[in-house]
Chain A
């Protein structure tokens, strides 16, 4: 919402400065977004007479001028404008002036050997339009020495407020003035507004052709004819104000409706009576109807849209925009002025469907004051008579304004209860009344009647807001929220703790945390198990941000590749965040994922004097995954690592982490070459992903005591075994078999060598393990050690078919 200072002062008698007004507007909730004060910006620019203009001795295109800027002292200025001539009146800026159009500050200069003390200016240089033809050429009677802004009528500062949608009353300058008067910044001006007397009834019949259930779409419609008007340009003052707020003056009749829209928040429409055939009907649009509107566009109408039609068809879309055919122009002599009330939701919906944003729609969808319908018609009529002449008829009025005022039962204590502010009752009452509320009754509880222009006031809380916003929020003093009397308890839920811990644990492994988009390309979603119809956005911001992600992996893969493309091939990234399996809350999971590219392994990437880092492999991803489980304190007793994973992983270089076949918690491995190709990824990429919510819960124990520690005094010992086994037998099975052979003694099994080739039969491999034994009761005899060894060999052989390598 924009208006000018002088416009405001039409409604508000105030001596307050522009700064005070702006500061107050913001303080009462009408946030000032900007102030454009051309008078201040253009202060140094004065109207000046060019006394002489001679050819520059050293430059064909330049002239040496002398200028009188009002003090009679001729100033020498070098000027390049083709239109500079002796005797002309133009605009002069002295040295030290900032020139907005050129973004320079003038100084005394010497141009091709001739001193120049200032500048003669074009409109473009002043930041006023884009004429570059030459310096401003003002009429001969322009007062030399006067500030140009004053002369040009640019001295009316424009104030723009960022209006919240709950305040339709402040879509009017008069409404803003009311708020400022209530806060004590001035007094409202109330000029008498006698009703317009018509000579005869309005000859154009009006019909409200709406079913009973649709009557609320057009509760009230008023129309008046003014005959014999002379429509031309509107007066300068009106044009200046409309221009100042960014509107283009069109002709007096149209300008009057625009002026009323901003001055009173009362949108109106004018029809050229000569172009209206028969009476006007307010009805719903019919299928296939359309209207060429004043915005020059052809609008296809829908059956839920309210229109004003004549015998020829639709002439106007109610509350939004009029039609071109019946619009007023310079030839208009008889004008029909419409002032009506429409349904806010219906207007909002129609405006959205048509994609039309107008000042009328903006007001009607927020709620135009129902009580302004008839006075607004009269105000507009008076302006028409004043500017265009003519003879008015009586108004035709169909329907009636709905009762919108509410009575609110208001205990004064509500202000203290909600705001924590004690105010004298009289002050609260004065505020409410200044805003147009009627306060009835006395004592602790009063009845408050809301004004017709405040549809946003529904109940007590709204009244509290009105009181404190005018009284001043700064008068509320901060008061501590009562604190707990005991030591603060932990507040995080198990999944919140896991999420945090996961981040720290993965960052500790040299991974950098990324936050990538929740939406990914449809094709990517499909590759990673998603792409379902329930997770596709109906209105994505871009085609590659179309689907809610089923996995964090594709986003991180692409991020790693982007880094590579920028010259950082060894990215190690992780993310802990939400993934979506369905649009239901249960379909959302929290996952932890890491991606390593190139040589970005745990110990570091790239070449180094200690040895170059190897290309990352599935084991780097496995190490990340297992380190995460360990950091989270997940009981891993039942954890199984099974070969293979989802389709996006290399089938031979991937694994699944599970607690039983039905309880998979994650995957790791190298990215499948087909996925690499589909996502246009280069090099080697490995990843793991774990669903943090699927992990078994950390055991909650009644006591924090750790289990007792039993340490043996006896020396541990190790025995090495080399097994020959089928190539496809997982080493993990050998390890598990060895562990299970003698649970009392075996405390650890490490695989320390793998070998295939000469000396090992074709299709077989050698797996060497070191088994650590820890006696607990007494030192083992050689015979006992031998017996344990036999048991281990037998058990491994039984479980895996392995034989001891000869």
Chain B
């Protein structure tokens, strides 16, 4: 075959390669050129019958032709694969703007009372307090008498009490009106030193805009040989600062009266109320937040402790109330209504676990 024929063949083959529109067409071209009986294969076979001189000239021409055709085939194959991939990708397109269902762990909520209870526990655990609990249904003795509310004393009327039906002996149990009976249970069960907080559910026969018949309290109790009001002030200031997550709080201790503490005080925290929003650590208003005092000598005696030997303090705070103060819920009643809109808005995400390491809130 003459050189011009080789050129013609090459032009022909290369145009066929370029024209192949898919893998199959390209394969047909390859077989026709490089297959057993292909046009280029046939030319290669002729090399064997040539003289060395002939082969010297024709060899490179035919091999060159083969290489170029092979190269063109490979190039075309790659181009076709690329195009096929592009086509596939185009076909596989999804609409990523389609909205998803919310995941379970983004839908779920922790109730603010539980969250605040954990926040308080984190703070007090750091100060060496453990958590004590007791039953909601209490004896009159533990809810009142042991706490220095003598029978018939008007101080009992400070608590609107829920009673259960009297038993065979005519004694009637009460729904605890405060978590303080757990103070008695703790002091009777364990020798000082004692540092506990007592969170729990409490009940008073009271229902209006700002009161619900059931609410939550958290008390603290410290009994040792030296704990005094100066220490009590420190504990409460540290607590308030840590809980409200502010640099400093200003507190005001006002003398007050609780039957189970002496001396007793109520504690106000300074705040501002700009635009209906309460902020601690600023402003000039006072907000009553806590009750506290030194454990009454009669209470210590009722627990078998000698008030001249041991001493200590107790304090109590409304959990629901400080949740409202910190997180801004305007009303108490919805806390217990289980309205999913309220829970969604005021509740906390399941992984918002309060800790002192990471901060109480995100």
In B91-136, the 8 Å CB interface with A consists of 98, 101-105, 107-111, 113-114, 118, 121, 125-131, 133-136
Q: Which residues of B contact A500 (CB under 8 A)?
A: 114, 118
The distance from the CB of A297 to the nearest CB of chain B, in whole angstroms, is: 21
Query: Once A and B bind, how many residue pairs between them come within 8 Å at the CB atom?
Result: 263
- B317 contacts chain A at the CB level, 8 A cutoff: no
The distance from the CB of B336 to the nearest CB of chain A, in whole angstroms, is: 6
Chain A: CB-nearest residue to B203: A518
In the docked arrangement, what's the CA distance between A417 and B294, Å?
11
Q: From B44-52, B55-63, B155-163, B277-285, give the one contacting chain A.
A: B155-163
Q: Which residues of B contact A543 (CB under 8 A)?
A: none
Q: From A305-313, A602-610, A744-752, A766-774, give the one contacting chain B.
A: A602-610
In A340-369, the 8 Å CB interface with B consists of 344-345, 348-349, 365-366
The distance from the CB of A84 to the nearest CB of chain B, in whole angstroms, is: 42
Q: Given that A29-B255, A419-B263 are contacting pairs, would A568 and B105 also be in contact in the complex, using a CB cutoff of 8 Å?
A: no
Proximity string of chain A (569-603) to chain B, C-beta cutoff 8 Å, 1 when within and 0 when not: 00111001110100111011000000000000011
The distance from the CB of B49 to the nearest CB of chain A, in whole angstroms, is: 57
**Residue with the highest number of chain A CB atoms closer than 10 Å, among B154, B203, B307:** B154
- A48 contacts chain B at the CB level, 8 A cutoff: no
In A192-229, the 8 Å CB interface with B consists of none
Q: Which residues of A contact B347 (CB under 8 A)?
A: 512-513
Q: Which residues of B contact A566 (CB under 8 A)?
A: 339
The distance from the CB of B196 to the nearest CB of chain A, in whole angstroms, is: 9
Q: From B2-10, B69-77, B230-238, give the one contacting chain A.
A: B230-238
- B287 contacts chain A at the CB level, 8 A cutoff: no
Which range holds the interface residue count of chain B?
35 or more
Q: Given that A488-B128, A500-B118 are contacting pairs, would A420 and B205 also be in contact in the complex, using a CB cutoff of 8 Å?
A: no
Q: Which residues of B contact A491 (CB under 8 A)?
A: 121, 125, 129-131
Q: From B13-21, B25-33, B81-89, B167-175, give the one contacting chain A.
A: B167-175
- A421 contacts chain B at the CB level, 8 A cutoff: yes
Q: Given that A31-B256, A420-B228, A545-B213 are contacting pairs, would A481 and B127 also be in contact in the complex, using a CB cutoff of 8 Å?
A: yes
Q: Which residues of A contact B326 (CB under 8 A)?
A: none
Contact (Cβ within 8 A) B262 A461? yes
Q: Which residues of A contact B164 (CB under 8 A)?
A: 534-538, 548, 583
- B314 contacts chain A at the CB level, 8 A cutoff: no
In the docked arrangement, what's the CA distance between A244 and B154, Å?
27
- B341 contacts chain A at the CB level, 8 A cutoff: yes
Q: Which residues of A contact B126 (CB under 8 A)?
A: 488
Contact (Cβ within 8 A) A604 B101? yes
Proximity string of chain B (231-257) to chain A, C-beta cutoff 8 Å, 1 when within and 0 when not: 101110100000000000000111111
Proximity string of chain A (511-537) to chain B, C-beta cutoff 8 Å, 1 when within and 0 when not: 111111111000000000000011111
Contact (Cβ within 8 A) B110 A504? yes
In the docked arrangement, what's the CA distance between A577 and B103, Å?
26
In the docked arrangement, what's the CA distance between A652 and B220, Å?
49
Q: Which of A26, A419, A504, A514 contacts B338, CB < 8 Å?
A: A514
In the docked arrangement, what's the CA distance between A691 and B208, Å?
33
In the docked arrangement, what's the CA distance between A4 and B229, Å?
34
- B296 contacts chain A at the CB level, 8 A cutoff: yes
Query: 7 interchain pairs (CB within 8 A)?
Result: A28-B255, A366-B154, A418-B311, A421-B229, A504-B110, A566-B339, A608-B101
Binding site for A on B (CB under 8 A): 98, 101-105, 107-111, 113-114, 118, 121, 125-131, 133-137, 151-155, 157-158, 162-167, 172-173, 175, 201, 203, 205-207, 213-214, 222, 227-231, 233-235, 237, 252-257, 262-266, 294, 296-298, 307, 311, 335-341, 343-344, 347, 349-351, 353
Q: Which 4 A-B pairs have the closest CB atoms?
A: A420-B230, A29-B255, A510-B104, A465-B263
Q: List 11 additional A-B contacts (Cβ < 8 Å) besides A507-B105, A573-B338.
A: A165-B158, A479-B233, A481-B231, A504-B351, A510-B104, A516-B338, A548-B136, A562-B337, A566-B339, A583-B164, A603-B104
